[in-house]
Homo-oligomer: A and B are copies of this chain.
Amino acid sequence: MHGVELTDRESTILQSVIEGYVKEAKPVSSSAVVRMSSVSLSSATVRNVMRALEEKGLILQPHTSAGRIPTDLGYRYYVDNLVKPAGLTPGERKAIGNELAKLVHCDLATVLAGISHMVSEASREMAVAVAPSGGGQVIEQVALVAIGAGRIMAVVATDVGPTRTAVLTTDGTFHRTEVSKAADLLNEWLRGVTLSEASATILKRFAEQDPAPDGWLGGLLDGVRVFLSPGGSERIHYEGARYIFRHPEFSTDASSLGEILDSEETLADVVRGPVRAAEVRVVIGAENVCSGMNRMSLVAGTYRIGGVVGRMGVIGPTRMKYPRLIGLVGYFSKVLDDLLAE
Contact = CB atoms under 8 A, between A and B. Distances in A.
Interface stretch (A68-76, A161-169, A315-323): A161-169
In the complex this chain forms, how many copies of it are found? 2
Interface string A177-209: 000000000000000000000000000000000
Nearest to A253: B251
A119 to B, nearest CB: 13
A166 B227 contact: no
Contact of A167 (B157, B234, B239, B253): B157
Given A141-B145, A241-B262, A257-B245, A306 B167 contact: yes
Interface stretch (A7-15, A106-114, A281-289): A106-114
A82 interface: no
A89 interface: no
B234 A258 contact: no
A96 interface: no
A147 interface: yes
30 contacts: A102-B226, A105-B226, A106-B227, A107-B164, A109-B235, A110-B232, A112-B233, A113-B233, A114-B233, A140-B147, A141-B147, A143-B155, A145-B155, A151-B157, A153-B163, A155-B165, A157-B167, A163-B167, A169-B306, A240-B262, A242-B255, A242-B259, A244-B258, A245-B254, A245-B255, A246-B255, A251-B253, A251-B255, A252-B252, A261-B261
